[in-house]
Amino acid sequence: MLSEDGYKTPENRIAIACAAVWGRSLSDEEINNLHQASTIEVDIGGEGGIEIPGNGNTTLVCGKITDLPVSRRVFAITQKALPISQSDLLSKVVLGEAISDPDLGDYTINTTPYEGAVLVVVAEDECGSEWTPNASYRVNDVIRPSTFQRYVYYCSSGGTSNDTEPVRWFDTDGSKRVGTAQFQAKPFSRPLAHDPIIPTIMASE
């Protein structure tokens, strides 16, 4: 439980801000993962690097994926291209990434210390591995058919597949047996991008 004084810190004020977006607060572990910095240096290989500007504040992007309750990797990228040191080139930077909650669709990306506009990109779903006969599968393993049909199949009950590839189904309600394992169909979603947004900025004290 956070103390009254604890809510005065930038990290805990972010938790309150996220509650308005998500309908829930950040967990203590999520709060502890937040950090502050004035600038950070991003190593891009070779001799150059990119300095991420900032003012010592904690910045965060909160959001919710609402179309399907599937974990997805979400990235925050600078809208503006930043200068590469020891070079005349510019490059956009991936500030951070997160995995959305599989049930609620919530995500939080720590973009500290950047305060400019960012693009939020939702990466494509897990496409899994191609179905294999007589293979052992565990819960949450993902398979796809040998001929892709824009659906993937999440293992809901572990077991062993049979020796003949099953006829694919597209009903997302409930699971179907494949050998001794069970799988649930889910549509495969392509990458998406959100309009530029400004991260939540919590001033340092």
Q: How far apart are CA 74 and CA 63, in angstroms?
A: 10
Q: How far apart are CA 49 and CA 80, in angstroms?
A: 16
DSSP per-residue string spanning the chain = ---TGGGGSHHHHHHHHHHHHHSSPPPHHHHHT----S-EEEE-STT-EEEE---S-EEEEEEE--S-----EEEEEESS-EEBTTSS-EE--EEEEEE--TTT-EEEEE-TT--S-EEEEEPPPP--EE--TT-EE-TT-EEE-SS--SEEEEEEE-EE--SSPPPP----SS-EEETTEEEEEEEPPPPEEPPPBPPEEE---
Q: How far apart are CA 147 and CA 167, in angstroms?
A: 11
Q: How far apart are CA 203 and CA 205, in angstroms?
A: 6
Unique residue bearing structure tokens 């950040």: 26
User: Are 155 and 137 within 8 A, CB to CB?
Assistant: yes
Q: How far apart are CA 20 and CA 136, in angstroms?
A: 42
- Global pTM reads 0.54
In tens digits, the chain (205 residues) has pLDDT values of 333 333 344 444 444 444 444 455 555 555 555 443 334 444 444 455 788 888 888 898 888 877 665 677 888 888 888 888 888 888 888 888 888 887 788 888 999 889 998 988 777 677 888 999 999 999 989 999 988 888 899 999 999 999 999 888 998 888 999 999 999 998 887 767 777 777 777 776 6
Q: What residue type is assigned to position 147 of the chain?
A: T
The two three-digit tokens of residue 191, written as one number:
């990458």
114: Cα within 13 Å, side-chain hemisphere: 29
User: Are 54 and 38 within 8 A, CB to CB?
Assistant: yes
User: Are 51 and 38 within 8 A, CB to CB?
Assistant: no
**Domain positions in the chain:** 5-125+190-202, 129-187
Unique residue bearing structure tokens 């999440």: 154
Predicted confidence at residue 196, as pLDDT, reads: 79
pLDDT (tens digit per residue) in 32-46: 554 433 344 444 444
